[in-house]
Amino acid sequence: MQSHPVDRQFSCTGLYFLLLLLLLPALFNRHHHVATVTAINTETAGEHQQQQTTQPTLQQQQQHEKPEEQQSQPQNNSKPNIIIILIDDMGFNDVSYHGSNQILTPNIDALAYNGIILNRHYVPNLCTPSRATLLTGKYPIHTGMQQSVIINDQPWGLPLQEQLLPEILRDAGYATNLIGKWHLGFWRKELTPTMRGFDHHFGYYSGYIDYYNHTNHMLNRNYSAGLDFRRDLSPWPEADGLYATDVFTQEAERVIYQHDAAAKPLFLLMSHLAVHTGNENNPMQAPEEEVEKFSHISDKKRRTYAGMISRLDDSVGRVVRALSNKGMLNNSIVLLYSDNGAPTVGIHSNAGSNYPFRGQKESPWEGGLRSAGLIWSPLLQKQRYVSNQVVHAIDWLPTLASAAGVPLPPKLQLDGVNLWRVLSENGAPQPRRLIHVLDDSVGYSAYTRGALKYVNGSSFNGQYDGWLGDLPADEQDPTAPYYVQQVLSSEVQHVLGSDALSVEQVESLRAQATHSCPDNKEDYTQDVYRCEPLLEPCFFDIEKDPCERYNLAKLYPL
């Protein structure tokens, strides 16, 4: 039998693959929920009522006290603030802590280097399923949310019988806020954020909006354009003409500065529009002063995308600064990740890069499923390391609840597991089995058990099966030689700088978080390694071959 370059001692792989297939049904024995939403009387006693308060105009919000003038309000309650920064459609290769020098993200990187870089962080490969997974702690197949995304006129949403993370935290005494994107259904009022555990929502219901006028306009469905921007349940036209990332950042600052930290801990889900495309008639939008910073990038779309990332990085710095000024940062958990991989090509393409991983958003490959992610908190016992623990979005509900000391209702039947201790202590990696994609309506599936990943079928007739988003070597940021200095002088590092990072730490952590796969085409293009998932299943040793180049199915047949 021919040996292969991935693992010359992989003699038991065939047996493992057989066991994998035999054990697949055990993961699917739970009742498969449908997405039909049971009718509920809107006048049911006990329905959560929104507080009727006079809301400030955006101009008034922008005129809140400057950060240095804010009075610090130390937090007296024991539960930590939980801040989730959820980025939309950002590529794994588009944060510079993974090694790319084309788009530098010093604030995000400083947060990563001071916390934990999640090098094997997995998510569903599409917007709606990913958000449902975060809020329920369940695979989309167990909530009926696995089938594509919710289009505006479709009468379905996240089932009302599901108890969501904001509901659990609010019951435990948290103030709960959602800023930005929802995309989990809004055809009935009961499905909207302020009816699902969020005290307040400032943002939009659909999959995307224009970055400046905040309308949603789906040309491919012949819809009329309409404003999709709300404060709680009321339309909010006040932000017209202002860049969405800035508007959401200003709102986050307002929420933080006005929060009564002595009375309640804060749960803030900051669900960005960036870097998803806007409406089809003008999909790529960023302030011109941001785009001009990236003249070294020749592709216009990619250059605008870089401007979108840059503004997002500034936003992270501002939010961390606000938490510090308010006296809340020392009792906070900050989680940041992308909801799925970037769509390099095809539908809603933003020119993001998941390279060197294979595939992209809405595919069964690592490029669609492995998300850039990090977690930071002074509550972590171990910090400043790169974690290779397999983490999935299903895990954040039980993990964050554990970190906050919030008991979970036993009826939840979660798919996720509590990884707080493993991450906090940098413990031995916990073995995992993950269902990445399972839906016969889309014609493909992906599953991982330990080191082995199984892929059967593919999306869009295999259009996304390649290694997309390889960046030109000669288009590096001209300031890249000073990258470490940019991280050390970033807003985030200034805030966290009591125990300063060293140059050596930054360089070491970055090297550990950088993925590279030998480009030996003469080797992995041989027939024995070729993967054609539309014809037959493939499987990979994802630990030794994260770029999914060496299909092992032919070497170790059943």
Where do we find the tokens 């006290």?
65
Class at the top of the CATH hierarchy for domain 80-428+463-523: alpha beta
Question: Would you say 294 and 307 are in contact if contact means Cβ atoms under 8 Å apart?
Answer: yes
pLDDT of residue 485: 96
User: What pLDDT does residue 77 have?
Assistant: 65
From the list 513, 96, 98, the residue with the least C-alpha distance to 294 is: 96
Locate 406 and state its tokens. Answer: 């919030």
The CA distance from 146 to 133, in Å, is: 10
- pLDDT value at residue 311: 99
How many angstroms separate the Cα of 468 from the Cα of each of 93, 280, 498, 534? 11, 22, 40, 19
Dist CA 278 CA 285 (whole Å): 7
Pairing of strands 391-392, 121-122: parallel
Q: Could you identify the residue written with the tokens 């003038």?
A: 69
Task: Please give the C-alpha separations between residue 156 and each of 141, 181, 192, 276, in angstroms, as whole numbers.
Answer: 15, 17, 12, 22
Q: How far apart are the first and last CA of the chain?
A: 14
Which of 344, 345, 356, 359 is CA-nearest to residue 547? 356
In DSSP terms, 178 is beta-bridged to 201, 269
Rounding to the nearest 10 degrees, give the CA dihedral for residues 80, 81, 86, 87: -110
Spatial contact of 99 and 106, defined as CB atoms under 8 Å apart: no
Angstrom distance (rounded) from CA 37 to CA 96 = 42
Nearest CA to 545 among 452, 433, 415, 411? 452
Block means of pLDDT (10 residues each) for the chain, length 558 residues? 42 41 42 35 34 41 42 66 99 98 98 98 96 97 89 88 98 98 94 97 97 89 84 95 99 98 97 97 96 98 98 99 98 98 96 97 97 98 98 99 96 96 95 92 90 94 92 95 97 90 96 87 74 94 95 83
- Sketch the domain layout of the chain as residue ranges: 80-428+463-523
The packing angle between helices 127-136 and 396-404, to 10°, is 30
Locate 428 and state its tokens.
Answer: 């031995």
3-state secondary structure of 129: helix
CB atoms closer than 10 angstroms to residue 515: 16
Catalytic residue positions, numbered: 127, 183
- Residue 382 CB: number of other CB atoms within 10 A? 13
- Position 304, amino acid: T
Taking the C-alpha atoms of residue 382 and residue 373, their distance in angstroms, rounded to an integer, is 17
Residues 6+ away with beta carbon under 8 Å from 77: 173, 261, 262, 263, 264, 265
